[in-house]
Amino acid sequence: MNDYKRWAFQQCPQQAGCYRQFPPVDTTELTESVHQFEFLLKQGQLLLHQLGNRPFAKHLMEAAQKSDHLTVQHMIQSVPGLTAVNDIKFSPTGIVFQLASPVISEGGNCCAMSIVLKWG
């Protein structure tokens, strides 16, 4: 019984073989992701600014209420400078915008951002 406790709690000896060697850190991809996400934040700000416009918001909600996906899509695509909206989903209680980095269209996968807004 005593042998079991001794073996169950035996620690690894302090030797070089007990620790895994990690490769050197390369922050290039992280830095690029940060820059791309900053772009998405600016795109999100453009979108939110436009959604804060009451006539635009009213027209968007009316189109969504009628399940008029084409009008909703067209209205969002008509926002000046907004290029990163990848997908739009809506329901009677809210709307979700999926923003994706332009790098994703080139085969990259650095970052994406969702904006979820409640409206009912």
Task: Name the percent of the chain lying above pLDDT 70.
Answer: 80
Q: Is residue 59 part of a domain?
A: yes
18-32 as b/e, with b when 16 or more CB fall inside 10 Å? Answer: eeeeeeeeeeeeeee
pTM of the predicted protein model: 0.77
| Order of all β-strands in the sheet with 94-100 | 85-91, 94-100, 112-118
Contact between 82 and 46 (Cβ < 8 Å): yes
Number of domains making up the chain: 1
Confidence of residue 25 (pLDDT cuts 50, 70, 90): very high
Domain with 71 in it: 30-118
Q: Is residue 106 part of a domain?
A: yes
Could you tell me what percentage of the chain is helix, strand and coil, using 3-state DSSP and rounding each to the nearest 5? 50, 20, 35
Which pLDDT score is estimated for 14?
Answer: 58
Q: Is residue 37 part of a domain?
A: yes
Question: Which positions ≥6 away from 69 have C-beta within 8 Å?
Answer: 88
Q: Is residue 108 part of a domain?
A: yes
Confidence of residue 59 (pLDDT cuts 50, 70, 90): very high
Work out the average pLDDT over 36-56.
97
Work out the average pLDDT over 44-66.
97
